[in-house]
Structure 1
């Protein structure tokens, strides 16, 4: 098995929304804001090369939305999913599986593209299965009013229409062992219903793709919960459970949205679980 970080692009989000009720004077210590109160955000995806499978975890925003839409998110940098795949010697047609932690537009938008005539949308990975779970799919396809702006039908319905959609089984407890994709999955319901956190056994290490359970290293303190979360009190419990496991078992936490920290480890302290070490993907994956 080999792992590769895939940088699908960078953008900015409102720092207050990213940290909920936490005062700006606290969260800016780790996530400085610009004059518009916006903080740097990454769309750092993960590619797993395992024998004859190439599994891509999340796909970023994609490029099919309008200039007005992207204007809300202040895109920066020159990273794209295609350029990042090519830097490792791959093309999107090589991908066999696209695993979506959840179906918010900044995690799955790159899964779907315009067709040649721009008359309809089609899968951007023509040779891949798209993996979700039935509970989250229903949640996203019939969105509540709070999340409706994040679940875009053009990102979701073409997966089903193409016949390329598959569902992961939902466990009775929080962790699904030995899934069809050869990694364990932690299910979290605080951010959105049945978000999936992959836990990959790699060269004796456990690499955890944190998605929106832990957006950045600055979100380690338990009360530092995004305003976007639909059930913030549940996020508190899920973060506590997962971060204690991570400290006990020395998990390596791959941060999808932290533009400046790629992978971290954590440790127990008197104040709770806190940052231990910061790592690069190059150091951990090579």
Structure 2
């Protein structure tokens, strides 16, 4: 097995929305804001090269939305999904599986592209299976008013229309299970959105956990630092506590999807609770 971090593009989001009830005077210590109150964000995906399978975890926003849409997110930097795949030696047509932690636009928008003939949409990965789970799919295609702006039908329905949609089966009542479909562990979390899936991968003697939106940035480690976007913030508190305590107990390496300045972190127990231990680049750990 070989892993490749895939940078699909950087953007900005409102810092207040990213930290919920936490005062700006506290969250700006780790996530400084610009004059518009926006903080730096990444859309960092992960590519798993495993035998004859090439599995991409999340895909970023993509580039098919309107100029007005992207104007809300202050895109910055030179990263792109295609360029990052090429740097790893691959093309999107090589991808066999796309695993989606959840179906918010900044995680799945890159799955779908505009049809070149100007009529509708096409899967960006024509040879891949798209993996979500049935509970989350139903949640996304019948969105509540709070999340409706994040579940864009043009990002989601073409997966089904193309016949490439597949569901991970949740086989246990426990929050963690090993996926028989993709051969890695999955932590199911319901605080941010229904049945978000957090992959856990054993690699080169280390356990790497892809944090997705359970832990967006290193600045979100303290338990009350919960995004305003989360649909069930009190449940997020419990899920973060379980996730972070396990990470501290077992020295998990946490791969941060949205932290533009910290790629991988570890955490430790302190008298103030679980806190940041060390930060790493992927190359420092695995190259």
TM-score of Structure 1 vs Structure 2, range by shorter chain: over 0.9
Paired residues for 1:72-151 under 5 Å: 72-151=72-151
Paired residues for 1:1-286 under 5 Å: 1-170=1-170, 171-286=172-287
Deviation, structure 1 residue 118 = 2.0
Q: Return 5+ residue gaps in structure 2 as ranges.
A: none
Q: Distance in 1 between matches of 2:85 and 2:285?
A: 19
Deviation, structure 1 residue 180 = 1.3
Q: Return 5+ residue gaps in structure 1 as ranges.
A: none
Deviations 1:24-44 (A, max 9, x none): 000000000000000000000
Q: Distance in 2 between matches of 1:62 and 1:118?
A: 17
Deviation, structure 1 residue 285 = 2.5
| Mapped contact 2:168–2:179 kept (Cα < 8 A) | no
User: How many residues were matched structurally?
Assistant: 286
Q: Distance in 2 between matches of 1:145 and 1:12?
A: 23
Q: Distance in 1 between matches of 2:243 and 2:89?
A: 34
Deviation, structure 1 residue 179 = 3.0
| Mapped contact 1:101–1:107 kept (Cα < 8 A) | yes
Q: Secondary structure of the residue that 2:244 maps to in structure 1?
A: helix
Q: Distance in 2 between matches of 1:285 and 1:135?
A: 35
Deviation, structure 1 residue 204 = 1.3
Deviations 1:232-265 (A, max 9, x none): 0000000000100000000000000000000000
Identify if the C-alpha distance between structure 1 residues 258 and 130 changes in structure 2 by more than 3 Å, giving closer, same or farther: same
Deviation, structure 1 residue 177 = 1.7
Deviation, structure 1 residue 116 = 1.1
4+ runs deviating over 2 angstroms = none
Q: Secondary structure of the residue that 1:256 maps to in structure 2?
A: coil
Q: Distance in 1 between matches of 2:11 and 2:286?
A: 25
Deviation, structure 1 residue 164 = 0.5
Q: Secondary structure of the residue that 1:84 maps to in structure 2?
A: helix
Q: Secondary structure of the residue that 1:199 maps to in structure 2?
A: strand
Question: TM-score, length-normalised on structure 2?
Answer: 0.99
| Mapped contact 1:205–1:251 kept (Cα < 8 A) | yes
Q: Distance in 2 between matches of 1:65 and 1:166?
A: 25
| Mapped contact 1:2–1:285 kept (Cα < 8 A) | no
RMSD in angstroms over aligned alpha carbons?
Answer: 0.6
Q: Distance in 2 between matches of 1:283 and 1:118?
A: 44
Deviation, structure 1 residue 178 = 4.0
| Mapped contact 2:189–2:239 kept (Cα < 8 A) | yes
